Amino acid sequence: MGKKHKTIVTHLEMTAPPRLPPAPHPPGKYALMRAENPPVHFYRYLYDAVGRDYVWVNRKRLSDKVLASIVQHPDVEIYVLYCNGSPAGYFELDFRSLPRAELSFLGLIPEQVGSGIGSFMLREAIAMAWSREINRLIVQTCTLDHPRALPMYQRMGFSPYAQEEAELEELD
């Protein structure tokens, strides 16, 4: 059995596109690219690299077949931010329950935390979500995530609508 972590999960929503000034572009050479039908091993790399320090475990428990059915679904969009040729972070938008959309994951590779590109990625994710016919964008964060995650979501226009306690167990 792995280590267990108690956490408070905060569910947030946005019911109209926010009016945000454009985010400063990341320094250096960068590209935000959609990973279309990403190989499962590549998705697992991103998920682990971004989430390892924040106890992201749910997708690790999925079989390759089940994970592929999610990340390769035509209504799930995964975007990878590359800085100077290497992955710097990613986000995942889930449009399978329209007119509601979900920002399922957003995060940075550890070396990029604190670089300021998190707000750039979040603004891009919000803009991409609202470019579709949606009436609600949801996201969740928890007390195991980076301490700046919840305030950043709120600054960008998300409002909390529910909280719950949860327990996550790390994989051995």
User: Helix, strand, coil shares of the chain as percentages rounded to 5?
Assistant: 30, 35, 35
Say how far apart CA 28 and CA 33 lie, in whole Å.
16
Q: Is the pLDDT of residue 34 over 90?
A: yes
Mean pLDDT of 136-148: 85
Predicted confidence band at 169 (pLDDT cuts at 50, 70, 90)?
low
Say how far apart CA 35 and CA 37 lie, in whole Å.
6
Q: Is the pLDDT of residue 172 over 60?
A: no
pTM score, whole prediction: 0.89
| Domains, the chain, with CATH or none | 12-138 (3.40.630.30)
Task: Please indicate whether residue 21 or residue 64 has the higher confidence score (pLDDT).
Answer: 64
Ordered alpha helix ranges (H), 15-116: 40-51, 64-71
Closest by CA position to 71, among listed 50, 90, 99: 90
Task: Please indicate whether residue 147 or residue 80 has the higher confidence score (pLDDT).
Answer: 80
Say how far apart CA 64 and CA 154 lie, in whole Å.
34
Average per-residue pLDDT in the chain? 87
Cis omega (within 30 of 0) on the bond before 99?
A: yes
According to the model, what pLDDT value does residue 44 have? 94
- What contacts 99, CB < 8 A, 6 or more positions away? 133, 134, 135, 136
Q: Tell me the β-bridge partners of 94.
A: 76, 102
- What contacts 80, CB < 8 A, 6 or more positions away? 32, 33, 34, 35, 46, 87, 89, 90
